Structure 1
Amino acid sequence: MINTNKNKRPKIFATLPALNESENIRQFIRDIMMQDYAEWNLIVCVNQPEEWWDSPEKVSVCHDNALTLNYLQGINDKRIFLLDRSSKGNGWIGKRHGVGWARKTAMDFACTMAGNTDIILTLDADTHYPSNYFDSVINALESYPDATGLQAPYYHNLTGNEQADRAILRYEIYMRSYAINLMAIRNPYCFSAIGSGMACSVEVYKRVGGLTPKMSGEDFYFIQKLRKAGRVIINCETVVNPAARFSDRVYFGTGPAMIRGKDGSWDSYPIYSMESFKKIADTYALFPLLYEKDIPVALDEFLLQWSGGSSFWEPLRLNSSNVDAFVKACMQRFDGLRILQFLKADNKNYKTTDEEKLKELLGSKLFSDIEKPDVSNVKDFEKLSVDEMNMLRDLLTEKERKLQRHIKLA
């Protein structure tokens, strides 16, 4: 919850993990300096493992980080705070390293300076932020003071490099079809986790136990924490623009997906059948009845495997004092991670291609007759032009934004 007194608006504490970002840091700082919202601080954690200084394969990253440090140290602005986890003697030691630790370090540092009603933002150096971004985040949080956080919408600008553009468009088609299907069934986890566009108050950050550091996917787990603590805003006036780049600095996410996709491997990022999402919706709808006793649900096979053959529901019943507490416990246990795991498992039951499943979505009642495109040529993504792929991406983007504006809170 944030202070809604417009006479004393919250201060923004923008946090940035930076590794090998010297080529992006100047434009990033320009974006921050151009923000309309004046009350902000920026905390940058430049980081890499200490042992990389002695690694012929990795030492170039250390030198790149040194360039970033030198540039930031030369900026005469008291609003910018620099956390050096990169220079010799200051790098990460042991298992505590990676973007998750860097993001957590910056966010935890923000908590030492900020008041409980101030706002923590998570940013990325390769992302473009329009000048009204900070103001839009504050406006959204003030409009929904009981929300626990915000996930901003995103859009990857194309690069002009066909290989990179095809990869990011294919990845966005996967991401957006996933989110649209979850919004269509009004699932509480109907958002895409984008680390460059999350926000919450300091009070909420402390209440959920902060960010759990992960080598990859720390944004996914953090936004889940926020959703389990309350409602998350999925509608925001403006959009962040992450870069479309091949990157292996994390184990999964946009960069690794693009690398795999460049080689034609999209098995980890399929388009899921709408029928799979219906099974999720049908199971969620039965949560109140399951408080009384076990009854057959569409996800029984998956849940039995996950729970080792025992009842998935009985432990939740025993720890719930009433049906409302039970429904909440079900929602929290069968969370976004379990949904994704189920979708991957259930996808094996469908022999249709990704292209056919996308056409199923585009031809569904979610899209009006005016919105429905001619998809007769969508038979093989690899044979579509970049312009045709971009048309599909933009169609899904427009539908996702309409749903976000309608739903507002996940």
Structure 2
Amino acid sequence: MLKSDLSRIFVAIPLMNELDNIPILLDQLINQSLRPVIISFCINQPESWRKSPDKKEIILNNRKTLLYLNKVSASFPIPIIVLDHTSPGNGFHSNVGCVGLARKLCIDSFLSFTNSNDIIVNMDADTYYPDNYFENIIDIYNQLPLLSGVCAPYYHKIDNLPEDKARLMLRYEIFLHYYTLQLLLIKSPYAYMPIGSAMSFRVEAYKKASGFKVKDAGEDFYTMQQIRKIGIINSWLDNTIYPAARISDRVVFGTGPAISLNLKNQIKKYPFYPTYLFKKIESYYQILEHSKTTDDIIKNLKEIIPKEIILKIYKNHPQRDKFVHAIHEYFDAFHILKFLNNNYSVDINNDFEYFKNFYQELFKKDITYKNWQEISIDELNLIRDDLYNYELNLHRDKLNFLLMNKTDKKLWKYLKMF
């Protein structure tokens, strides 16, 4: 793999049922202040959908998208790769849309042209990106040569949604900010939100992480988890992306499925875990950082990590920094979520109360409402804005800390609280 000090942008974009969004997306790409080297599109759907009458329109839309991109690519000012996983026999052998596989195939299509220092930017066709998005991304990576990935700030558009769907969309985004803020406040190494349309990473980190994690669901989550284990992820940029909020069954997790649910089922799938559980995780972090002996760590961490695993980790990593790193590597984003789920039975009646307590404590503002249904869309939007801005400020503080410590090899080498 070639090494270069100058980073370049390579773009991966999965497409399914996106014909109407393509012209707008192409305009956004042309108008970027810094143009990418290559854009790769993967038009896809499961092959099994050909047998489903209700998927006929999606397949037709994909076919038209394929024809349109093949025509446009000949004269487009940026090189385009068009991957056809929509034509008969070319569809994915899966019963659900596999956006992770589509992203992986896009990346595979240009990976041989990249240098280790180049940046892979993941985009979605229904998302608005500022004209300086690529320039801003490159600037952050250039300022922090050891940075592995970026999860950009996001803000879902709700303009065209009916009130019931806007409420669901806002609750879902409030949940995302709540979850990230809880992790930021306890100084978790995994305090970022992996949204596919907002993710980027260095080629070197992507390869070390063994590429995109192709699963039936949660590919973005698992991929960025591995990127984080390679190096630090930044979540502050000088601009924000704006994903569309639309009903979709293309993936199992994410915005589309979240607003397809009714409120009760959304609460079950995306509950506001009570603050005391995050505080419990924070206490484990403190034990890990400050315990004098391995026996102390084993004694106090056995609730979250089996004793035999801690002993095995210690045997392989007896040096303290490496041992702490390995524990954080084990108790990763997945295990944090698993811990929360194992220690919390979803309480639909108290879901709003858990959020309200957190919000009131953080902002010193009273919320007089008793449930999600009572709050107006305008007021939910204001709450979303409060959380969005507070999270951004914490990410900015974190970035400033990284900039002041960009030569601290231990900080960049090990998973640590900061």
Q: Do both proteins adopt the same fold according to a TM-score greater than 0.5, normalized to the shorter chain?
A: yes
Structure 1 residues 290 and 253, CA gap change in structure 2 (3 angstroms)? farther
Instruction: Check if 1:381 corresponds to 2:372.
Output: yes
1:147-204 residue CA offsets vs partner (Å, 9 max, x unmatched) = 1111101000212421221111000111111111110111100011110011112222
Alpha-carbon distance, 1:352 to partner = 7.6
Alpha-carbon distance, 1:135 to partner = 0.7
1:237-294 residue CA offsets vs partner (Å, 9 max, x unmatched) = 1111111111111112221111124565411211122211111011012225386215
Output the amino acid matched with 1:373.
K
- C-alpha distance in 2, partners of 1:252/1:146? 31
Secondary structure of 2:54 counterpart: coil
Structure 1 residues 300 and 125, CA gap change in structure 2 (3 angstroms)? same
- C-alpha distance in 2, partners of 1:20/1:200? 26
Matches within 5 A, 1:216-365: 216-262=217-263, 265-288=266-289, 289=291, 292-295=294-297, 300-303=302-305, 307=306, 311-348=308-345, 353-364=350-361
Instruction: Check if 1:121 corresponds to 2:118.
Output: no
- C-alpha distance in 2, partners of 1:350/1:88? 46
Structure 1 residues 358 and 297, CA gap change in structure 2 (3 angstroms)? farther
Output the amino acid matched with 1:190.
A
Instruction: Check if 1:391 corresponds to 2:413.
Output: no
TM-score after normalising by structure 2: 0.88
Output the amino acid matched with 1:315.
K
Matches within 5 A, 1:133-152: 133-152=133-152
Is the 2:42–2:82 Cα contact (8 Å) retained in structure 1?
yes
Secondary structure of 1:83 counterpart: strand
Alpha-carbon distance, 1:122 to partner = 0.7
RMSD: 2.5
Structure 1 residues 3 and 198, CA gap change in structure 2 (3 angstroms)? farther
Alpha-carbon distance, 1:97 to partner = 6.4
1:12 matched residue in structure 2: 9
- C-alpha distance in 1, partners of 2:113/2:97? 23
Structure 1 residues 162 and 95, CA gap change in structure 2 (3 angstroms)? closer
Alpha-carbon distance, 1:336 to partner = 0.6
Output the amino acid matched with 1:129.
Y
Alpha-carbon distance, 1:64 to partner = 1.0
Please identify, of 395-404 and 263-272, the stretch whose mean Cα deviation from structure 2 is larger: 263-272
1:30 matched residue in structure 2: 27
1:269-322 residue CA offsets vs partner (Å, 9 max, x unmatched) = 11122211111011012225386215577764454xxx4xx5442221122131
Please identify, of 25-34 and 234-243, the stretch whose mean Cα deviation from structure 2 is larger: 25-34
Higher normalized helix content (fraction of residues):
2
| Aligned partner (choices 52, 64, 67) of residue 64 of structure 2 | 67
2:415 matched residue in structure 1: none
Instruction: Check if 1:214 corresponds to 2:215.
Output: yes
Is the 1:4–1:142 Cα contact (8 Å) retained in structure 2?
no
Secondary structure of 2:81 counterpart: strand
- C-alpha distance in 2, partners of 1:82/1:103? 12
- C-alpha distance in 1, partners of 2:347/2:316? 36
1:108 matched residue in structure 2: 108
Is the 2:151–2:233 Cα contact (8 Å) retained in structure 1?
yes
- C-alpha distance in 2, partners of 1:298/1:280? 12
Structure 1 residues 353 and 296, CA gap change in structure 2 (3 angstroms)? farther
- C-alpha distance in 2, partners of 1:346/1:262? 22
Structure 1 residues 247 and 345, CA gap change in structure 2 (3 angstroms)? same
Secondary structure of 1:191 counterpart: coil
Structure 1 residues 101 and 264, CA gap change in structure 2 (3 angstroms)? closer
Is the 1:4–1:145 Cα contact (8 Å) retained in structure 2?
no
TM-score after normalising by structure 1: 0.90
Structure 1 residues 299 and 360, CA gap change in structure 2 (3 angstroms)? farther
Is the 1:291–1:326 Cα contact (8 Å) retained in structure 2?
no
Output the amino acid matched with 1:398.
N
2:397 matched residue in structure 1: 406
Output the amino acid matched with 1:100.
G
2:406 matched residue in structure 1: none
Please identify, of 33-42 and 325-334, the stretch whose mean Cα deviation from structure 2 is larger: 33-42
1:164 matched residue in structure 2: 165
